[in-house]
Chains A and B, each alone.
Chain A
Amino acid sequence: MSEEKKEQTQNAQLDPSQWKAGPLAFFALVVAILFFSGVMVKFPDMKWLSAFDFTTLVGKFGVMKELGKSTFVGSGGFGARGGFMFALSLVPGVMFAMGMIEVLDHYGAIRAAQKCLTPLLKPLLGLPGLTGLALITDLQSTDAGAVLTKGLYDDGLITKKELIVMGAWQYSGAGMIANYFMIGSAVFSYLTCSIMIPVTLIFIFKFVGAMYVRLMLNTVYKGDFKNEQ
């Protein structure tokens, strides 16, 4: 959108005479009124209506049932309030994990990983070694990995088929390390095995998925790549 157009739309939004309200808008208004008014909990025969009530969904904070055992999250919390307290309890773990990963990355852990990965690329995925950096980057940041991959293809360093195989490797379990330690940490306390096992499995299956795609490209989609060497 050009600057000028943007300005026009902004002006239109500021001028009340230009506001448009279709049937959907009025429906939304009715929903808003019903949702916030508390009317929806007033029907004892139809308990399910309370699923559309603000006060019900906002939920409750957990309570500290056992002194000396309960954390600030408490137990029995539900709805938005319960979720918020639970999510808040994850902050220190994520901050600590990300801090450590940043330090280890600074000392070259990622570069070492790239060195280990490169010899596997050709036999397993049929990819040249120079794709290693883009793939390793994807483990940390999906977006950065995608940009590097596009760069390789634009520079003519990889073929279309190799691009698709790289896409497959990156797509399943994208941003693996960052996501696993940031998001997955929410349920680390439940794991019955070492926290390294699921993440290793994800890494292995990234190869499995890409090998499956490579196989499909070489068989089912064979005709598409006739003109490529």
Chain B
Amino acid sequence: MSNNQPQPAKKTNNPFDIFIIGARKGLNITLNNLVPNILMAYAVAEVLRILGVMKMVGEIFGPLMFVFGLPGEAVTVVLTAWLSSSASVGLAANMAANGILDARHVTILMPCFFLLGAQLQYMGRLLGVADVPKRYWPLLMSASLLNALCAMLVMNWFFA
């Protein structure tokens, strides 16, 4: 998230003003980032539902996702997370509203949205900008995937 806009010349010390600055950032990000992403996720979810992809994927990945205490359909959320955190959260919210996921499943998935989140975008925004040699990008990606899978296991065993 780029919430490091240039600071205004006059720095305020009034906590109420500072709150307003933060709230304004929140509004900008929700309107420009969250709303378009979730809208798209809902539309894509509708396509997947009509085409029956969701059901098919659910049956194929059922045994795999069972390890994490999740229904097979949840694999779509995990795969989407790799492309975009907000889209995957939107998809999870959509599936929860439709009864495909329950509260426990969402809880298990929660760390995964971010640990695996938006890797495609961050390749450019983080690894590219910081000049991490490309040779090691796959290693870093495998670390993120490992993180996400382990975090889901931990959530499943202890917290959900």
- Give A contacts to B, CB under 8 Å: 47-48, 50-52, 56-59, 75, 78-80, 82-84, 86-88, 90-91, 94-103, 106, 138, 140-147, 149-150, 153, 160, 163-164, 166-168, 170-176, 178-180, 182-184, 186-187, 190-193, 197-198, 201-202, 205-206, 208-210, 212-213, 216-217, 221, 224
Contacts and interface: CB of A to CB of B under 8 A. Distances in A.
B111 A98 contact: no
Q: Interface centre among B43, B94, B116, by most A CB within 10 Å?
A: B43
Q: 7 closest Cβ contacts across the A-B interface?
A: A102-B22, A83-B42, A98-B26, A99-B23, A51-B50, A146-B129, A167-B132
Contact of B110 (A97, A147, A191): A191
A178 B25 CA distance: 11
Given A80-B42, A100-B22, A184-B110, A143 B125 contact: yes
Count class of interface residues, chain B: 35 or more
A187 B113 CA distance: 11
B146 A57 contact: no
Contacts, number: 280
A91 B46 CA distance: 23
Nearest to A53: B50
Contacts of B65: none
Contact of A94 (B29, B116, B136): B29
A205 B130 contact: no
Contacts of B21: 99, 102
10 contacts: A79-B43, A95-B24, A98-B29, A146-B130, A164-B133, A182-B1, A187-B93, A205-B150, A213-B136, A221-B139
Contact of B89 (A99, A103, A153, A183): A183
Nearest to A76: B97
Given A187-B93, A205-B150, A142 B117 contact: no
A178 B40 CA distance: 21
B124 to A, nearest CB: 10
A103 B22 contact: yes
B74 to A, nearest CB: 13
Interface in B104-160: 104, 106-107, 110-111, 113-119, 122, 125-127, 129-133, 135-136, 139-141, 143-144, 146-148, 150-151, 154-155, 159-160
B106 A190 contact: yes
Given A56-B46, A171-B126, A192-B104, 7 more contacts: A83-B41, A98-B3, A100-B19, A103-B15, A171-B119, A172-B144, A183-B34
A186 B90 contact: yes
A59 B43 contact: yes
B70 interface: no
A208 B142 CA distance: 12
A203 B151 CA distance: 11
Q: Interface centre among A47, A50, A87, A160, by most B CB within 10 Å?
A: A87
Interface string B26-38: 1101110111011
B107 A208 contact: no
Contacts of A205: 111, 115, 147-148, 150-151
A18 B3 CA distance: 41
A174 B143 contact: no
A216 B30 CA distance: 38
Contacts of B135: 224
A193 B110 CA distance: 11
